[in-house]
A and B are shown apart, each in its own frame.
Chain A
C-alpha cells in the first residue's frame, strides 16, 4: 500500500468534511483562470470534432495556426543536417512499416480530423483536433479506421465483436479541457507500433501513474512530472525530437531570463553538466556517457513488455478453415498473428550501447538497399569515440524482417489496413498489398516481394530509475560480460589491459620472488654448512 496515496486520500476526506469558510469557494481550485464549463460557446451540442475546434478557436485565435506548424500536424520533418525528408508521412520502420495507403488507420493518432488520403486539407484550421491533447476526462478516444475522428455515435468495435464503444459527449469533453497529461500524450506515444509498449520500450502505459522505482520524475506519489514538464512547449511546438536528438548537451542547466538555445527536454537542461555532488568522478563519466546509460538500468520495467522483434515473412498462415491465427504466450502476448507474423517480447531489457552523436540517418523509400550485407539499418545512428560530440547511449535495437522489392532493391510500403481487395490484413497477398502501397507513394514496384532483415535503433531516455538503482561500477568495469563490452575507443579500467605487459611484468615479479628464494635458500644452506 502506498503511504502517500493513503495520506492524500485522508487529506481529501478531511477537506471534504470541513464546512464553513471554504464552502463558498469552488470545490476545486483551478490552476487556470478560466472555467470552461461556464463558456456559452462550449455548451454544445457538438455533432463533430471540427465543430468543437471552431468553438475553441473563437477565443484561442492562434492555436490552430501554431499546431499546423508542428510535426504533430504535418507528420513531416526536413532534417536540416542530412536534408532527409522525414516525419511519419515519409519514414519506413520495421513495425507496421509505413502510413502510406493506411492513413485512415494511422491517423487515429494525428492531431487532426479527416486525414484519410492525399486530399486532406492541411490549411483548414477546423481540422485541428484540440481535444486529443487537451482532454482531461479520459472519455475522448480516437479509433483506428476513422481518419482521426472520434466516434460520433455508439459503434460496434471491432465490427462483429459485439462490443459497443460509446461515443463521447463532445460538449462535456470540451468544457473540461486542460493541460496535456501523461494520459493524452500516452494515448498515442505509449501505444506506438500498434500496442502498449510495443515500439519504444521506455514508454508504455505503466508511465501513466508510475512508482518512483520505474520513473523517479513521473512518480505519481512524488515529483509527479507530466510529459510536458520536460518536453516544454512554446506555441504548441514541443521540445524533444527523435529525428534530431541531442546526444551531448554541453549547455548546462537552464536559468530563467537567460536566452537558452539548448533543448529543455534533456537531463542537463535541469541537472546541469556536473550533477554528481558526492562523487566528482561520476561527473567525469558524464562527459563521455549519457546520463541515461547509468540511470536507466533496463527498459520495459513497468510490467508492460516491449516488442523486440517482428518477422513479417512468416505472416499469412491460415487455419484449415482459412481463418487468421492468433497465438499467445503464457503471459498473453501475441507471438504470432497471421496478419503480421512472429513477434518476440522483452521485459527488463538491458539496452544495447553505442557511441551516438545525435545524427540519425533513415533508409527511405528511394534508397537502394543491399540485403547481402547483413541486416539493413532502418535508421543508422552516427557517432564515434573521441569525436567530441558523441556519448555512449543506451538503445533499444529492434530486429525486423520485412518486405522489400528484390528487383528494385528498395524497401516497400505495403498497404496493410483496410476493407478492400489489396490490403494485406484482409487479403494476405504481399504482391497486391505492395503494389497498392507503392502506387500510393508514387514509386516503382517490380511486382516481386522478398523479405529483408532490418534493425532500428531507439535511444532510451525514459524510465529513469532512482539514483540508488543506477548502474554499479562493475556493470562495465569488469573483465568480461560488462555492459560496455562492445564499446571501443575508450580505455575502461578493469575491462582493458595491455596483456603483453601484464604477462611480462607479472613474470618479472615472479622471477624476482624465485630469485630471492633461491638466494635465501643458498644463504641458509651455506650458513648451516659454515656452522659445521
Chain B
C-alpha cells in the first residue's frame, strides 16, 4: 500500500524548478565567461548571465516572502539529531534495504542532512555568489561605496569558488534525489507535491 503525503506546495515547486533552471543556466553561462568552453560567445553569455541573475533575484524576493509568511523557513532550522544515523544509512543501510532513519512529514519534510546542506547552500553559498556577483556588476561603484581597497581578483575568485560549490551541490543533489522510496519518487514529489513514503 502506498502512503502519500503532500510536502511541496505549488509555489515551492515553482520556486524549486525555476531556480534550478536559472542556476543551471547561470552555471552554463558563467563557466563560459570564465573561459572553460564556448557555447553562446562571451558577449552573449555575459548578457544572459546578468539577465538570469536579476531574474533569480526577483524569484528570491518572492521566495523569502513566502518562507516568512508561511513559516516554512523553520524547515531549515538545523539539527544534529539523527545526523549520524543518516550518514550510516547512506553508507551502509541503503545497500541492504534497511529502513530509512528519517520519517518525512509535512512539518518536517527535510531529513537532518538535507536541513544542514540546504541551509548551507541558502545561507552560505548562495549569499557568497550573490554578494560577489553584485560587486562584480557594480564594479565601478566600489570607490563610491567606500570599497576602494577591494580587488576585483578576490571578488572574481570568490564568485567562481561559489559557482564550483554550487556545481558540486548540484551533482550530489540530483543523485540523492534518486534515494527516495523509489528512484523517482522524490522527483515526482517535486513535480506533483505528493511524496510516496511507503
Contacts and interface: CB of A to CB of B under 8 A. Distances in A.
B152 A509 contact: no
Nearest to B167: A509
A497 B160 contact: yes
B139 A284 contact: yes
Contacts of B94: 523
Given A508-B164, A522-B95, A474 B41 contact: yes
Given A496-B153, A501-B157, A479 B171 contact: no
Contacts of B46: 281, 473
Interface string A495-515: 111100110011011001100
B95 A493 contact: no
A494 B152 contact: no
A519 interface: yes
A478 interface: yes
B35 interface: yes
Determine chain B's interface SS by DSSP, over half rule.
Answer: helix
B140 interface: yes
Contact of A509 (B33, B156, B164, B179): B164
Contacts of B156: 491, 493, 496
Interface in A254-305: 281, 283-284, 287
Contacts of A496: 153, 156
Nearest to A281: B46
Contacts, number: 79
A509 B140 CA distance: 33
Given A496-B153, A497-B34, A501-B160, A523 B95 contact: yes
B97 interface: yes
Contacts of A25: none
Given A473-B43, A526-B95, A498 B168 contact: no
A408 to B, nearest CB: 46
A interface majority secondary structure: helix
A198 to B, nearest CB: 37
Given A283-B140, A512-B171, A498 B42 contact: no
A161 B160 CA distance: 70
Nearest to B41: A474
A167 to B, nearest CB: 58
A489 B178 CA distance: 47
A497 B164 CA distance: 13
Contacts of A429: none
Interface string A69-91: 00000000000000000000000
A287 B144 CA distance: 13
Nearest to A477: B42
B1 interface: no
A522 B178 CA distance: 13
Size category of the binding interface on chain A: 20 to 34
Contacts of A522: 95
A530 interface: yes
A494 B140 contact: no
A39 to B, nearest CB: 56
A490 interface: yes
A508 B176 CA distance: 17
B105 to A, nearest CB: 25
A496 B90 CA distance: 40
Contact of A530 (B97, B151, B161, B176): B97
B107 interface: no
B175 A516 contact: yes
B42 A494 contact: yes
B61 interface: no
A23 interface: no
Interface in B153-198: 153, 156-157, 160-161, 164-165, 167-168, 171-172, 175-176, 178-179
B80 interface: no
A284 B165 CA distance: 29
A509 to B, nearest CB: 5
A341 B176 CA distance: 75
A90 to B, nearest CB: 39
Contacts of A519: 90, 175
18 contacts: A283-B140, A477-B33, A490-B152, A491-B153, A493-B33, A494-B33, A496-B156, A497-B34, A498-B160, A501-B157, A505-B161, A505-B164, A505-B165, A505-B167, A509-B164, A509-B171, A512-B171, A530-B96
Give 5 closest A-B pairs by Cβ, nearest first: A505-B164, A516-B175, A526-B95, A284-B140, A491-B153
Given A496-B153, A502-B160, A527-B97, 17 more contacts: A283-B140, A287-B140, A477-B33, A479-B35, A490-B152, A491-B153, A497-B34, A498-B153, A498-B160, A501-B157, A501-B160, A505-B167, A508-B168, A509-B164, A509-B167, A520-B175, A522-B95
